[in-house]
Chain A
Amino acid sequence: MGFILPCGKLCKNIILQDTKCNLCQGDSTFVKITTSEIEHVAHLTRLSFDPSEIESFSRQLNDILGYISKLEELDTSQVEPTTHAMELTNAFRKDEVKPSLPVEKTLSNAPEREKGEFVVPKII
């Protein structure tokens, strides 16, 4: 993984606050996330974009992902990933029925509701 520069080289370096590669001074603003990938990710996350939005978005996302690739500098092969912010295992509670919100209140914010249920577009 890295940046494909206009000179054709693969570059893993990026200088902060400056999008020039510090090896060959190439412009590293276009890279790893392509328009079709953006469309794919947008679909996965249930968003849609105009073609003009996609252009500015891919530039911004590439800047951000370029900066994030800084993590590649670190060797983490021997490091355990953090899975919880604090050491806390199994916060158990008793399995008992407790009062909960009535259906009417639970549905009170639903954009469409009918007979105590959420209304959704037909799916079959």
Chain B
Amino acid sequence: MPSLIDLSIHELHDLLIKREVSAVEVTRAYLDRIGEVDPKIRAYLIVTAEQALVQAEEADRRLKKADNVTPLTGIPLGIKDVICTRGVRTTCASKILENFVPPYNATVMERLEAHGAVMLGKLNMDEFAMGSSTENSAYHPTHNPWDLERIPGGSSGGSAASVAAKACAGSLGSDTGGSIRQPASHCGVVGLKPTYGTVSRFGLVAFASSLDQIGPISRDVTDCALLLNAISGHDIRDSTSIPRDVPDYTGSLIPGLKNYTLGIPKEYFIPGLDPEVEKTVKQAISSLESQGAKVVEVSLPHTEYAVATYYIVAPAEASSNLSRYDGVKYGLRASGYKNLMDMYKKTRSQGFGPEVKRRVMIGTYSLSTGYYDAYYKKASQVRTLITQDFKKAFEQCDVITAPVAPTTAFKLGEKADDPLQMYLSDIFTIPVNLAGIPGISVPCGLNSSGLPIGLQLMAGHFEEAKLLTVAYNLELALGRCENWPIP
């Protein structure tokens, strides 16, 4: 029998229901694995070993009685530290929330608990999910398991690195401008950003509320569908959650792409796109074509304005959302203040890292008197144009295929002093969030240094099933990334 940590969620589930292994054994295997690899990867901020074993025992009771068993019962998962977990410290990788222990669970945590899933711990990220490399964590950076000198991507860097390093069976991340898809691409795992409103944001610490979505990161496409099944669905506590029946996403894991038309947006194949990434992505598209899909060229003419639009909309919303950190209700309160104003300023200046300060400043500036029309209103109008681009493109195709990121994972420190260059690394993932549509990153090859490359698939609102079908077929053609020979 292969080692337990080598198995996907659906493979583990088969063993668990046959009682060939127990949830406690699986959980212990993962805790051992964390002990072995996490000192090098540093994906976890907190490992909740004791609680995990209690949850595993409970899962074993359910499995034994065959009582309310689902594909996630007894499966050990990692959770991005932006998601509130009752009784377990939730820091958002920020000093301002260093001692914050949520008195309630996020809706996604309630759902995972109802499934009897096991939480191994909380995963590292860029502070408040602002960043593309996980270097903005106030605690420590995370290293890419494929090359420890490189970043895992971000902001869900811990979520992607832990899955790639087999330090959890699957994880949850959050995606505001590519924060699930880009790290998934850099770590050779599957990451999906659902349609806005599909997964409840209740208990997700807010960064940019009109863009944020929680989504799964997994070893393969089947696991992605299983996790999405568990976390999706309407929630009355999130008024932007969409009242809509959730399909069984595993139903879309079917071979063959006969009736599919794939769109290739010419604006995503531009100078600045690494030639190896371009070649690998195009090969993946050809492989989908050979499985029966038709391929057409489409145009998303406003792509080049997406980053500029995002860096007004997201910071504007962040500046408002982060005003709650005032040293009164929860989190840090600085000492040695003279009065209330001084307390606010000292608390926020000590509690926030440089990237958070930059974004809050940009947001406040762009919303301030005299600049609102030129910045925020303008960006909201361009957002409409970007959304219309997608609507037009989806009249010609079912799924758009593109790179996830212009390059493979870069080295730690490489872009740390140049925020604008860091922002531009999200150029291919940001449009999806602005339009509210779903997107997935699927591993599609390795570059000559053996670093993973992801293929991005995008579809219209609520068309996750189409994404999963195409992603599943790519996986069938290429096999699992961990088995690919390094060129």
A interface residues (Cβ-Cβ under 8 A, vs B): 1, 16-17, 33, 37-38, 41-42, 44-49, 57, 60-61, 63-65, 67-74, 76, 79-86, 88, 91, 93, 101, 105-106, 108-112, 118, 120-123
CB <8 Å contact, B383 and A121: no
CB <8 Å contact, B357 and A47: yes
Kindly state whether residue B380 has any CB partner on chain A within 8 Å.
yes
CB <8 Å contact, B337 and A64: no
CB <8 Å contact, B358 and A88: no
Knowing A70-B305, A118-B328 touch, does A80 contact B384 (C-beta < 8 A)? Answer: yes
Q: Interface digits, B382-399 against A, CB 8 Å rule (1 contact, 0 not)? A: 111101000000000000
Knowing A93-B236, A110-B328 touch, does A47 contact B383 (C-beta < 8 A)? Answer: no
A76 to B378 Cα, complex, angstroms: 7
CB <8 Å contact, A46 and B344: yes
CB <8 Å contact, A41 and B361: yes
For B436, the closest partner residue in chain A by CB is A85
Least CB distance from B219 to A in Å reads 30
* B103, B368, B423: the one within 8 Å of A106 (CB): B103
15 CB-based A-B contacts, threshold 8 Å: A41-B361, A57-B357, A61-B358, A61-B361, A61-B362, A64-B358, A67-B307, A74-B305, A82-B380, A85-B197, A101-B103, A101-B104, A108-B101, A111-B327, A122-B339
Least CB distance from A20 to B in Å reads 14
Residues from chain A with Cβ under 8 Å of B239 in the complex: 91
Stretch binding the partner chain, chosen from B26-34, B287-295, B308-316: B308-316
CB <8 Å contact, B362 and A64: yes
Kindly state whether residue B242 has any CB partner on chain A within 8 Å.
yes
* A37, A80, A122: the one within 8 Å of B381 (CB): A80
B interface residues (Cβ-Cβ under 8 A, vs A): 99-101, 103-104, 195-197, 210-211, 236, 239-242, 272, 302, 304-305, 307-309, 311-312, 319, 323, 326-333, 337, 339-341, 343-346, 348-349, 352, 357-358, 360-365, 368, 374-375, 377-385, 387, 419-421, 423-424, 434, 436, 461
CB <8 Å contact, A44 and B419: no
Least CB distance from B267 to A in Å reads 14
Interface SS of A by simple majority: loop
A45 to B351 Cα, complex, angstroms: 14
CB <8 Å contact, B385 and A47: no
For A37, the closest partner residue in chain B by CB is B365
* B101, B195, B197, B308: the one within 8 Å of A70 (CB): B308
Given contacts A47-B345, A60-B419, A109-B331, 10 further A-B contacts (CB under 8 A): A17-B272, A44-B368, A49-B349, A57-B357, A76-B381, A76-B382, A76-B385, A79-B382, A88-B197, A108-B103
Residues from chain B with Cβ under 8 Å of A81 in the complex: 377, 380-381, 383-384
A98 to B132 Cα, complex, angstroms: 40
Least CB distance from A47 to B in Å reads 5
For B383, the closest partner residue in chain A by CB is A82
CB <8 Å contact, A86 and B419: no
CB <8 Å contact, B210 and A84: yes
Least CB distance from A111 to B in Å reads 4
Residues from chain A with Cβ under 8 Å of B378 in the complex: 71-72, 76
A77 to B328 Cα, complex, angstroms: 43
Least CB distance from B37 to A in Å reads 32
A-B pair count, CB < 8 Å, reads 165
Knowing A47-B357, A68-B375, A85-B436 touch, does A112 contact B333 (C-beta < 8 A)? Answer: yes
Interface SS of B by simple majority: helix
A83 to B339 Cα, complex, angstroms: 38
Residues from chain A with Cβ under 8 Å of B387 in the complex: 82
CB <8 Å contact, B420 and A121: no
Least CB distance from A25 to B in Å reads 20
For B358, the closest partner residue in chain A by CB is A60
CB <8 Å contact, A48 and B346: yes
Residues from chain A with Cβ under 8 Å of B364 in the complex: 41, 44-45
* B309, B319, B323, B461: the one within 8 Å of A86 (CB): B461
CB <8 Å contact, A109 and B99: yes
Residues from chain A with Cβ under 8 Å of B434 in the complex: 82
| Most chain B C-beta atoms within 10 Å of own C-beta, residue among A16, A17, A71 | A71
Least CB distance from B329 to A in Å reads 6
Knowing A71-B379, A82-B380, A101-B103 touch, does A121 contact B419 (C-beta < 8 A)? Answer: no
Least CB distance from B24 to A in Å reads 31
Residues from chain B with Cβ under 8 Å of A108 in the complex: 101, 103
* B343, B362, B424: the one within 8 Å of A121 (CB): B343
* B104, B345, B379: the one within 8 Å of A46 (CB): B345
CB <8 Å contact, A67 and B236: no
Closest 5 A/B residue pairs (Cβ): A81-B380, A109-B330, A111-B333, A76-B381, A91-B239
Least CB distance from B96 to A in Å reads 11
Knowing A1-B374, A48-B346, A76-B385 touch, does A63 contact B420 (C-beta < 8 A)? Answer: yes
Residues from chain B with Cβ under 8 Å of A110 in the complex: 328-330
Least CB distance from B46 to A in Å reads 16
Residues from chain B with Cβ under 8 Å of A70 in the complex: 304-305, 308
Residues from chain B with Cβ under 8 Å of A80 in the complex: 381, 384
Residues from chain A with Cβ under 8 Å of B211 in the complex: 85
Residues from chain A with Cβ under 8 Å of B385 in the complex: 74, 76, 79
CB <8 Å contact, A79 and B384: yes
Residues from chain A with Cβ under 8 Å of B349 in the complex: 47-49
